[in-house]
């Protein structure tokens, strides 16, 4: 991709890489408005190619769900976005900053405006729920300890955990841990929020509750979000658009209604077995 001026770039990637539209090999002019842009991303672990040319663009304020079977590279994609994994090839651009080039400072700036909800919650188990929230705030966001505490309490109340402020993560149930982790991701008021399997391991009622909560927070704060999931109900509640990750590529993208019409056994499988 060649930068011309401002946000206007010439993409040298064939247009077929951007979607499942049948192929014509012309370069296109892209107005660089997307908040998250992944172009031709490749990632392998040893001989196992996980991502082989994944391309994705998420507009500012949009929520995009990545669907796919286990082991198709959904979480790997998210980790490449925040520099936890280094891509083998391709471009990862977040808010006009190349993440894959690995400038520690640039990466740090991106991470400060990115919230990440891990699959397991990843709450720091040596800290109380409140400290989990204030930890990041008081280190990087130039707030006093009192302000950090006040803000953390506010976000814990928003996710319905006001009673768990002083508890340790080990004292929380699975659903409460997910909500606490969501509050931790939200408390820095990120511009981008990445969700890695937000409903995995939860019962259907709690899953729906978490999905509604995510939708509610997206509505309130207008963040750009990517939700990695294989829970079609969650994707239905939270996402504006979705894509199906298969063979290392986003094979199909569109609204969930559009995806439901696709004649592919794997895609149909998601809609047939919603949980």
The binding site for another protein (CB under 8 A) comprises 79, 82-84, 108, 111-112, 114, 116, 118-120, 122-125, 135-136, 139-140
| Residue nearer to another protein on the CB measure, 9 or 151 | 151
The residues, ordered by sequence, that sit 6+ positions from 14 with a Cβ below 8 Å of its Cβ are 23, 24, 25, 26, 27
Rounded to a whole number of angstroms, the minimum distance from the CB of residue 190 to another protein is: 10
| Residue nearer to another protein on the CB measure, 43 or 79 | 79
Residue found under tokens 């979607």: 19
| Residue nearer to another protein on the CB measure, 9 or 184 | 184
| Residue nearer to another protein on the CB measure, 11 or 136 | 136
d(CA 266, CA 9): 35
* Structure tokens that stand for 23 in this block: 């192929």
d(CA 251, CA 243): 7
Rounded to a whole number of angstroms, the minimum distance from the CB of residue 251 to another protein is: 27
Rounded to a whole number of angstroms, the minimum distance from the CB of residue 68 to another protein is: 19
Give bridge partners of residue 243 from the DSSP assignment: 66, 253
Report the chain's C-alpha Rg in angstroms.
19
* Structure tokens that stand for 237 in this block: 């509640």
């Amino acid at each position: 991709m060649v930068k011309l001026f401002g946000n206007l770039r010439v993409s040298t990637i064939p247009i077929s890489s951007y979607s499942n539209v049948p192929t014509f090999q012309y370069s296109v002019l892209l107005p660089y408005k997307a908040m998250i842009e992944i172009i031709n991303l490749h990632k392998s672990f040893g001989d196992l190619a996980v991502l082989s040319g994944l391309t994705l663009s998420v507009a500012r304020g949009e929520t995009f769900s990545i669907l796919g079977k286990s082991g198709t590279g959904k979480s790997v994609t998210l980790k490449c976005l925040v520099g936890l994994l280094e891509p083998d090839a391709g471009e990862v651009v977040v808010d006009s900053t190349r993440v894959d080039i690995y400038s520690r400072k640039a990466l740090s700036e991106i991470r400060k405006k990115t919230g990440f909800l891990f699959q397991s919650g990843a709450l720091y188990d040596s800290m109380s729920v409140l400290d989990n929230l204030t930890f990041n705030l008081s280190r990087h966001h130039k707030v006093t300890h009192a302000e950090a505490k006040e803000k953390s309490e506010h976000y814990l109340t928003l996710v319905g955990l006001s009673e768990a402020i002083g508890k340790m993560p080990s004292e929380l149930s699975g659903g409460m841990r997910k909500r606490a982790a969501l509050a931790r991701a939200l408390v820095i008021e990120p511009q981008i929020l990445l969700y890695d399997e937000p409903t995995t391991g939860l019962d259907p009622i709690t899953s729906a509750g978490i999905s509604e909560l995510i939708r509610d927070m997206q509505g309130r704060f207008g963040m750009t979000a990517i939700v990695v999931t294989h829970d079609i109900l969650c994707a239905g509640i939270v996402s504006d658009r979705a894509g199906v990750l298969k063979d290392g590529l986003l094979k199909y993208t569109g609204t969930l209604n559009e995806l439901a019409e696709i004649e592919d056994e794997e895609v149909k499988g998601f809609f047939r077995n919603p949980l």
